[in-house]
Structure 1
Amino acid sequence: MKGSTYIKTGIIPEKQHYYKVQTSRGLDLKAICCYAATGFFLEDDTFWKHQKVLKPATDYEFDSQGQVKNKTPYFQWHYNPRIISFEQALDEFEHLFETIISEQTKGKKVILPLSGGLDSRTQAVALAKHSHLQTYSYSFKNGYPESRISKRIANALGVPFTSMEVPKGYLWDAIEDLAEINQCYSDFCNPRQMAFVDQYAEIGEVFSLGHWGDVLFDGMGEDVQWTTEEELNWVLKKVVKKGGMELATRLWESWGLDGDFESYFMERIKGLLSNIDIDNTSAKLRAFKSLYWAPRWTSVNLGVFESVAPITLPYYDNRMCEFICTIPEEYLKDRKLQIAYIQRKSKKVANITWHQQKPFNLNNYHWNRTPYNLPYRVISKIERELRAVVGRPHVARNWELQFLGKENDQQLQGWLFESGFDKLVSKEVIQEFYTNFKMKDAVWYSHSVNMLLTLAVFNKKFGS
């Protein structure tokens, strides 16, 4: 129809598409409180009342004025397991996964971010015979050297590898560029890839990214049916960050919003869960995360990669989502399909340390329990304590490299206290959480400070 435009969103959208609704303009303070608690916006929320985000798996038609004329969902997450053997499921996964990757990367120089986990390792064995493959990995300065695992995987497959290190304080030179990329819809410490944007373009033409494989290809098993309350508690535990509820509550109160934040937030989560018509709890929670977490958190920072080169995401492919809904949960439990695929394709790669189960690998990770893992745990603890004594404390999270230390603290304070941020958030609230971070518990309040920094940058760049 003349004047109409159409958008079809993915089952897991790679990017956010915004549209305007006919309502009063202004900041959506309730939505921002949810954002402060979790680090991502719920459902179709944005910073603004008059702006929304297109929902996943939906065909949209817009009129000439940009208003939604029609919207038709074309996919619902479900759980309809087929009666097939594990070997049949593995064969189907192998064919589908390799077909998707071939379609996405054929004839291109591929950049594969490689970690010590399973998602990118699964991609690596699928791409091992690709004629132009470059892998890389990074570790935190003074952190666990995950790049060593990645390098072993690359060497086992005979593919090029580059090791990188996340530098201390890189954020402050990159923060405004990052804000332009993610529009402040994510905090600034999680997209660590921003530290290396100048290096990516030199090593390939297209990214093959492993995002969301760990959610699709894991589960709790076949006979898991929790109560509504148990499901709600699990979601709250997963999505609310340390200190997030406290920050959101203080913002809610300082802005004079009706009611209380916790009740509002819990009712919203209950409503989102109740809309998912799946009995099996494992499949239902996967659907929840794929509907609300993936597009509003994971996808937001894909733009960092895309600012350098086109991106491909085999686990985001609609066919992969449809496939998962038909696979028995027992086959997905404990990453069974991915592990079996890697074992089938490369025994060498299967024998390399699995980061999440270190020092064990894909063949013996079942032994990662007391007393078998005690020697490793004791030695690791001693090493961390010795490094702290000599002034090189162990780094496990990016905020430790970006927020701690005199120069970082000066930059952080500049954004929190000297950028006009108090026009959005009161000085009292800012000072309270900054002081708690510095004097009380840095780990617990790191998320709160991270979100206040994000809101401060938003206020400066987009708030007026």
Structure 2
Amino acid sequence: MDLKTLKTDIIPKRPTGIKVAAPHELDLKAICCFVATGFFLDSDTYWQDEKVLAPGCIHIIDDTGTLQGSEAYFEWHSSPRNLPFNQALDAFSELFENIVTEQTQGHRVILPLSGGLDSRTQAVALRNHASVNTFSYAFKNGYPETKIAKQIAQQLGMPFRSFEIQPGYLWTCIDALAKINGCYSEFTHPRQMAVINTIGSMGDLFSLGHMGDLLFDTMGLPQLNFDEEVSLIQERFVKKGGYELGALLWTSWGLIGDFDAYLKLRLSEMLSKITIGDTNAKLRAFKSRYAVTRWSSNNLSVFESAAPIALPYYDNRMYDFVCSLPEAYLSNRRLQIAYIKRHAPALAKITWQAQRPYNLYNYSRNRPPYNLPYRLFNKSKRILKGALNRPYVMRNWELQFVGEANDKHLKHHLFDSGLDTLVPLAHIELIYKKFKTHDAVCYSHPVSMLLTLAMFNNLFNK
């Protein structure tokens, strides 16, 4: 028997699927958990005979494509070194800039900019690159994030383009998006899909800042015991409306056992694979290994459909570095902020969107009473927009599900696409009604998951 090895990245850009000995039937338990959380757990897929290879492992596969064994070459750990902060900053600066240079050298780089820190650190690392084209986008009637991004680009002398994402754009591209992401994540988040062809022509390589905010921050938690950590994971990763829909499907599909107990067991088993004592480091590792791998990474395929992608925070060297840092150095984005201040102080003076109207020098004043004038002014603007029938758009789903035209498309996919061959019509009607009349914020998630199942049912459930 011929054997080959396959090495999966610590955080893969895309999961690697493999066939296993099982019936080619829907994995209904996995789908219930998918609905509840928004991502498939661990190695689950839609199908019983298809699994995803574990990240950070070397896998042995025979000539029939069957997995014979796996061995981890990386385990998430917390091994903080006793080093001064400036020494940690030196190490981060050198590592980050080396990675960015290796990934982008000789390329015409396309850099998405936001009002946050991850893309700003990339802009600093690319400040001397020969060819960088930048862009940003904002929702119509949303916060004008593009203004901050434009200031960053102008300060560095980088060409910049601004895009406004229009309401209802999803319905013109949902078929293409479903084929790109395989219906392994819902469709309201990858707003780049609205302009993907245009931004893809701006260069030959996307440099993306995904995962920086997770690696270089702490969750600010006290030390918890294992059961408390599992409860916290349930609280943070299980959506209230998604759990309700998952429980309905569990019952209607006649699955054995209790959905709540099964979901808690799966999350507990996943967490037990991470042998870290410190709660903050442990939950960072949990989110990286499971949520990023099975949710965030999935939508990278949208960018990749237009041009190759490079992700400095996905480089394997970054994870050992993060695991070697004291938790205090990772809290409140300290390293990224210090890096920007050291190498591009003018960029540090530009508004930090998460702390607006403050910047990287004065964001500590974003608390009462200092921030009350801005908060009152901002609230007044939102009220005025509402009075003018221009509601302030703060969430992705508002751009795609709210309004008469959006509602028409949404109802078509939920009620006229054959989804009721998979999901009982009574459940579809109940979730839709609660979204429209009860709590749109809570039920936007299960509505979006129903839309995802509708597209999967049409395209892949053959």
TM-score, structure 2 as length reference: 0.98
Q: Deviations over 1:71-96 (max 9, x none)?
A: 21100000111111101100000000
When structure 1 is superposed on structure 2, of 80-89 and 395-404 the one drifting more is 395-404
When structure 1 is superposed on structure 2, of 397-406 and 176-185 the one drifting more is 397-406
Q: Deviations over 1:294-319 (max 9, x none)?
A: 11001001010001100000001000
Q: 2:404 aligns with which of 403, 406, 426?
A: 406
Alpha-carbon distance between aligned partners in 1 of 2:20 and 2:176, rounded to the nearest angstrom: 28
- In the alignment, structure 1 residue 269 sits paired with structure 2 residue 244: no
Q: Deviations over 1:101-158 (max 9, x none)?
A: 0000001100011111111100011101111001111000000001111111111111
Q: Secondary structure at the match of 1:69?
A: strand
Alpha-carbon distance between aligned partners in 2 of 1:258 and 1:5, rounded to the nearest angstrom: 38
Structure 2 equivalent of residue 163 of structure 1 = 162
Structure 2: tracts of 5 or more residues without a match: none
- Match for 2:6: what amino acid? I
Structure 2 equivalent of residue 202 of structure 1 = 201
Q: Deviations over 1:164-211 (max 9, x none)?
A: 111111111111111111100000111111111111222111000000
Structure 1 equivalent of residue 452 of structure 2 = 454
* Superposed displacement of residue 341, structure 1: 0.2
Q: CA-atom RMSD, angstroms?
A: 1.2
* Superposed displacement of residue 446, structure 1: 0.5
Structure 1 equivalent of residue 123 of structure 2 = 124
Alpha-carbon distance between aligned partners in 1 of 2:141 and 2:437, rounded to the nearest angstrom: 23
User: Where do 1:44-443 residues align within 5 Å?
Assistant: 44-220=43-219, 224-443=222-441
Q: Secondary structure at the match of 2:18?
A: strand
Structure 2 equivalent of residue 42 of structure 1 = 41
Q: Secondary structure at the match of 2:206?
A: strand
The percent of aligned pairs where both chains have the same amino acid is: 55
Alpha-carbon distance between aligned partners in 1 of 2:266 and 2:175, rounded to the nearest angstrom: 32
- Match for 2:375: what amino acid? R
Alpha-carbon distance between aligned partners in 2 of 1:403 and 1:270, rounded to the nearest angstrom: 34
- Match for 2:308: what amino acid? P
- Match for 2:364: what amino acid? H
Q: Secondary structure at the match of 1:243?
A: helix
Does the 8 Å CA contact 1:331/1:337 hold for their aligned counterparts?
Answer: yes
Alpha-carbon distance between aligned partners in 2 of 1:220 and 1:211, rounded to the nearest angstrom: 17
What number of residue pairs does the alignment pair up?
A: 462
* Superposed displacement of residue 414, structure 1: 1.1
Structure 1: tracts of 5 or more residues without a match: none
Q: Deviations over 1:382-438 (max 9, x none)?
A: 110010001101001121111122221111111111111111000000000011111
Alpha-carbon distance between aligned partners in 2 of 1:240 and 1:122, rounded to the nearest angstrom: 31
- Match for 2:244: what amino acid? E
